[in-house]
C-alpha cells in the first residue's frame, strides 16, 4: 500500500476540568488535513478528551511524575462520537493499569467536524463535491488522523515511549486493522472487541453472511415473543392500508420496510426486548385507538439514529470496499432481495388473511429505502447513490503487512455476533500474525458496555498470562 506522509496535527486548544470520579478531563481540539494526499484541500478539526486520575499528594513530589503511555479508544459505528470519559467503560480499567486515556472522535462524527446535510451545503459543488468529501471519512484517513494526533501529543517524548496502545470496539477494530496495515510503527499493542474485520471479503460476502446471522436472531426473537408474529402483521397491515406510509412526528415516514429494519437491535444484549417494547407500544395504540399515536411512534423514530449520525448510513457499505473495482452498488439490498424471508425488499408488503408466518426483520444493513424515509437522509439521496457506485476506493488493508505483523493483538470475538461474522473474524485472526483471541458464545456485540469487567479481565489475561 502507498505510504502517505503524515504531518503532526496542530493543537488548537486544550482545556482541563476536574469531574466527579475524580478525573482530570482535558478537552482537545486539533487541526489536520482533510486529504493527506492533497494538503491544499483544506483542513478539518478533530476533537478528543484525555482522562487521567485526579490525585492530590500528601506532600509535593520530589520529581515530576513519569509520563504515562496512552490508551486510545476507537469507537464503533462508523458514525458515532465518544461518550465522556466518566461514562466510558474503558476509562477506569485503563487508568488502573497505568495508562492515560484518549477518546478521539473519528473525523466527521462527534465533535470532529461532524457531517450533516446542512454542513455539506457549505461545500460548493453540489452532490458530486459532497460525495468526494464523504469518501474521505473512512478508516484509512482515521488512521492518518490518529498518527497526526500521536505525533502532536508525543513530539517531545523519548521515541520508545511515543508509541501508543489502541482499543477498537466494533468498527473501531476495523480502524485498528487499517492502522496495523498503514502505520504499525505508531503502535505498542492493539485490543479489539467485536472488531476483527472481514479482511479480504467483498460487501456481498459480508451481507450473505450477516443475513444468515439475522435470520437466526429473528427465530430467537419470535420464539421469545410468539405474540409478535401477529402483532407485526397487524402494524404492517395498518401501514399498508394507510397508503403504504405514515408521516412521523419528527419528519420522514413510517413504511413497512422501515418498520422491519428495527432488527438492527437484535445483535446486542437486550436488543430483542427493546424491539418488542416498540412493537407492543404500536400494537397497543392500534388496539385502543385504531391509529398510531405520537407517543407510540416516538420510540420507533429514535430506535435508529441515522438522522443524527448520517455517516453510519451513508458510508456503511464503503467500509467494506477494499481497493479499486470494489463498488458496493447497494450490496445489502441486492443480497436481501434474493432471500425469500426478506421478500419485502423486493415488493411492497400486501396485507394477508394469514398471519401465521412471521415477517423477518433486517439487521445492520443500509438500503436505498433509508434515504426515502429518514428526513436527514432524504436530503442526501443523490450523494448516497454516487457513493454506492464509486469503484475507485483506496485500499484499507495490507494483507502482506498483516501476515508479518509484529504488534501484539488481543481480541474478544463473539461466536453469535450478528454484525461481524465469527467465521470471517476467525479468518482475520489467523491472518494477523501474533493475534490472541478470547472467543465466547455467551456475549453479544456490545459486551464491552454490559459485561465490561469480564471483557477486560479476559483481554488483559491474553496480554499478561503465559501460554506454553
Which residues does the annotation mark as catalytic?
170, 417, 445
Query: How are beta strands 246-247 and 187-193 bridged, if at all?
Result: unpaired
Q: Which triple of cell numbers denotes residue 33? A: 488535513
3-state SS string over 277-314?
Answer: HHHHHHHHHHHHHCCCCHHHHHHHHHHCCCCCCHHHHH
Contact 299, 305 (CB under 8 A): no
* 418 within 8 A of 217, measured Cβ to Cβ: yes
DSSP-H helix ranges across 66-125: 91-96, 117-121
Query: Of 296, 319, 312, 293, whose CA–CA distance to 376 is shortest?
Result: 312
The position carrying cell 496495523 is 180
Question: What 3-state DSSP class applies to 112?
Answer: coil
Alpha-carbon distance values, 208 to 58, 215, 363 (Å) = 61, 11, 12
Q: Would you say how long the chain is, in residues?
A: 468
| Count of CB atoms situated within 10 Å of the CB of 25 | 22
Cell output for 334? 441486492
CB 211: neighbour CB atoms within 10 A? Answer: 20
Q: How many Cα atoms sit within 13 Å of 453 on the Cβ side?
A: 0
Cα(436)–Cα(457) distance, rounded to whole angstroms? 14
CB of 417 within 8 A of CB of 444? yes
- Alpha-carbon distance 63 to 264, whole Å? 53
List the grid coordinates of 89.
467503560
Cell of 388: 454506492
- Listed in order, strand segments (DSSP E) in 4-121 are 10-19, 23-33, 43-53, 70-74, 100-104
Beta carbons of 449 and 414 less than 8 angstroms apart:
no
**What is the spatial distance between Cα 36 and Cα 461, in angstroms, rounded to a whole number?**
38
Amino acid at each position: 500500500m502507498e505510504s502517505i506522509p503524515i504531518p503532526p496535527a496542530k493543537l488548537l486548544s486544550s482545556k482541563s476540568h476536574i469531574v466527579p470520579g475524580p478525573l482530570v478531563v482535558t478537552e482537545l481540539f486539533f487541526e489536520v488535513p482533510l486529504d493527506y494526499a492533497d494538503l491544499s484541500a483544506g483542513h478539518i478539526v478533530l476533537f478528543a478528551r484525555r482522562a487521567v486520575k485526579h490525585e492530590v499528594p500528601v506532600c509535593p513530589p520530589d520529581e515530576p511524575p513519569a509520563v504515562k503511555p496512552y490508551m486510545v479508544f476507537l469507537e464503533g459505528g462508523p458514525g458515532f462520537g465518544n461518550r465522556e470519559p466518566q461514562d466510558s467503560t474503558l476509562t477506569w480499567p485503563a487508568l488502573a493499569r497505568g495508562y492515560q486515556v484518549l477518546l478521539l472522535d473519528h473525523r466527521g462524527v462527534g465533535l470532529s467536524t461532524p457531517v450533516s446535510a446542512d454542513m455539506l451545503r457549505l461545500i460548493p459543488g453540489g452532490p458530486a463535491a459532497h460525495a468526494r468529501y464523504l469518501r474521505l471519512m473512512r478508516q484509512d484517513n482515521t488512521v492518518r488522523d490518529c498518527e497526526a494526533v500521536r505525533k502532536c501529543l508525543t513530539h517531545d517524548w523519548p521515541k520508545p515511549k511515543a508509541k501508543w496502545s489502541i482499543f477498537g470496539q466494533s468498527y473501531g477494530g476495523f480502524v485498528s486493522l487499517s492502522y496495523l496495515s498503514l502505520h504499525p510503527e505508531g503502535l505498542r499493542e492493539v485490543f479489539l472487541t467485536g472488531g476483527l474485520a472481514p479482511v479480504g471479503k467483498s460487501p456481498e460476502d459480508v451481507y450473505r453472511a450477516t443475513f444468515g446471522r439475522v435470520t437466526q436472531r429473528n427465530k430467537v426473537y419470535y420464539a421469545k415473543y410468539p405474540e409478535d408474529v401477529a402483532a407485526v402483521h397487524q402494524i404492517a397491515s395498518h401501514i399498508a392500508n394507510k397508503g403504504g406510509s405514515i408521516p412521523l412526528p419528527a419528519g420522514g415516514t413510517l413504511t413497512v420496510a422501515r418498520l422491519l429494519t428495527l432488527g438492527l437491535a437484535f445483535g446486542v444484549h437486550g436488543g430483542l426486548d427493546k424491539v418488542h417494547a416498540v412493537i407492543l407500544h404500536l400494537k397497543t395504540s392500534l388496539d385502543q385507538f385504531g391509529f398510531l399515536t405520537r407517543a407510540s411512534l416516538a420510540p420507533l423514530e429514535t430506535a435508529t439514529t441515522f438522522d443524527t449520525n448520517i455517516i453510519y448510513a451513508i458510508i456503511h457499505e464503503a467500509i467494506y470496499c477494499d481497493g479499486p473495482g470494489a463498488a458496493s452498488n447497494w450490496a445489502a439490498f441486492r443480497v436481501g432481495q434474493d432471500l425469500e424471508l426478506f421478500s419485502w425488499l423486493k415488493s411492497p408488503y400486501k396485507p394477508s388473511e394469514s398471519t401465521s408466518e412471521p415477517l423477518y426483520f433486517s439487521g445492520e444493513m443500509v438500503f436505498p429505502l433509508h434515504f426515502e424515509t429518514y428526513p436527514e437522509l432524504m436530503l442526501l439521496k443523490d450523494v448516497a447513490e454516487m457513493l454506492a457506485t464509486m469503484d475507485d476506493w483506496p485500499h484499507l488493508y495490507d494483507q502482506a503487512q498483516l501476515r508479518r505483523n509484529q504488534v501484539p493483538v488481543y481480541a474478544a470475538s463473539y461466536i453469535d455476533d450478528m454484525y461481524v461474522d465469527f467465521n470471517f473474524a476467525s479468518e482475520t485472526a489467523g491472518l494477523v500474525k501474533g493475534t490472541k483471541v478470547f472467543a465466547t458464545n455467551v456475549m453479544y456485540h456490545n459486551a464491552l458496555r454490559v459485561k465490561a469487567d469480564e471483557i477486560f479481565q479476559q483481554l488483559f489475561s491474553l496480554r499478561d498470562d503465559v501460554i506454553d
